[in-house]
Chain A
Amino acid sequence: MSFDVNIILRYYPELLGGAWVAVWITAVSLVCSSAVGAVVCIGRLQKHGAASRLATAYIDLFRATPEIVLIIWVFYCLPLLFDVRIGRYGCAIIALSAYGGAYMAEIFRAGVQAVPRGQIEAANALGIPIFHIVRRVIVPPAIGWMMPALVNFLTELLKATSLLALIGVAELIFVASTLGSKTFAYMEFYTAIAVIYFMIIFPLSVYARRAEQRRLRRTGN
Chain B
Amino acid sequence: MIRAGTRAGTLGGLANRWGFHAVLLALGALMLANLNWTLVRSFEFAFIWEYRIALINGFGITLLLTVEAGIVGILFGTLFAIGSQSPFAPLRWLVAAYVEVFRNTPLLVQLLWIHFALPLVTGINTTALVSGIIGIGLQAAAYYTEIMRAGIQAVPRGQIEAAQALGLPARTRWTRVVLPPAIRTVIPALLNQNISFFKATAIVGLGLLVDDFFNSALRVSNDTFHFIEPLTFAAAVYLVLGWQAGRWTLRLERRLTRGER
Q: What CA separation (Å) do A194 and B108 show in the bound complex? A: 10
A45 touches B105 (CB 8 A): no
Among A27-35, A72-80, A85-93, the one that faces the other chain is A72-80
A134 touches B11 (CB 8 A): yes
A133 touches B10 (CB 8 A): yes
Interface assignment of B206: CB less than 8 Å from any CB of chain A: yes
A196 to chain B, nearest CB (A): 9
Scoring B7, B109, B203, B239 by chain A CB atoms within 10 A of each residue's CB, the highest score goes to: B109
In-complex Cβ contact of A50 among B24, B117, B120, B221 (8 A): B24
| Residues A41-99 near B (CB distance < 8 A) | 41-43, 45-47, 49-52, 54, 60-61, 63-70, 72-73, 76-77, 80-83
Interface assignment of B80: CB less than 8 Å from any CB of chain A: no
In-complex Cβ contact of B113 among A1, A63, A115, A191 (8 A): A191
A186 touches B120 (CB 8 A): yes
B6 touches A124 (CB 8 A): yes
Q: Which residues of B contact A166 (CB under 8 A)?
A: 108, 206-207
In-complex Cβ contact of B12 among A47, A54, A63, A115 (8 A): A47
A206 to chain B, nearest CB (A): 9
Interface assignment of B9: CB less than 8 Å from any CB of chain A: yes
B-side interface residues, number (CB < 8 Å): 58
Interface assignment of A213: CB less than 8 Å from any CB of chain B: no
Among A5-13, A143-151, A155-163, the one that faces the other chain is A155-163
A69 touches B21 (CB 8 A): no
In-complex Cβ contact of B203 among A68, A155, A172 (8 A): A68
Q: Which residues of B contact A205 (CB under 8 A)?
A: 103-104
Interface assignment of A15: CB less than 8 Å from any CB of chain B: no
Please judge, given known A-B contacts A162-B108, A186-B120, whether A130 and B17 are in contact too, CB under 8 Å: yes
In-complex Cβ contact of B21 among A1, A51, A65, A121 (8 A): A51
B108 touches A163 (CB 8 A): yes
A43 touches B15 (CB 8 A): yes
Chain B 201-245 against A: per-residue CB contact (8 Å), 1 yes, 0 no? 011001100000010001001000001100110110011101100
A173 touches B116 (CB 8 A): no
In-complex Cβ contact of A124 among B10, B36, B202, B240 (8 A): B10
Q: Which 4 A-B pairs have the closest CB atoms?
A: A162-B106, A66-B199, A46-B12, A64-B242
Q: 20 additional contacts, CB 8 Å, given A42-B14, A45-B11?
A: A45-B8, A50-B21, A64-B240, A64-B243, A65-B238, A66-B238, A68-B214, A76-B231, A81-B228, A124-B2, A133-B10, A159-B106, A163-B106, A163-B108, A186-B117, A186-B120, A190-B117, A191-B113, A193-B109, A205-B103
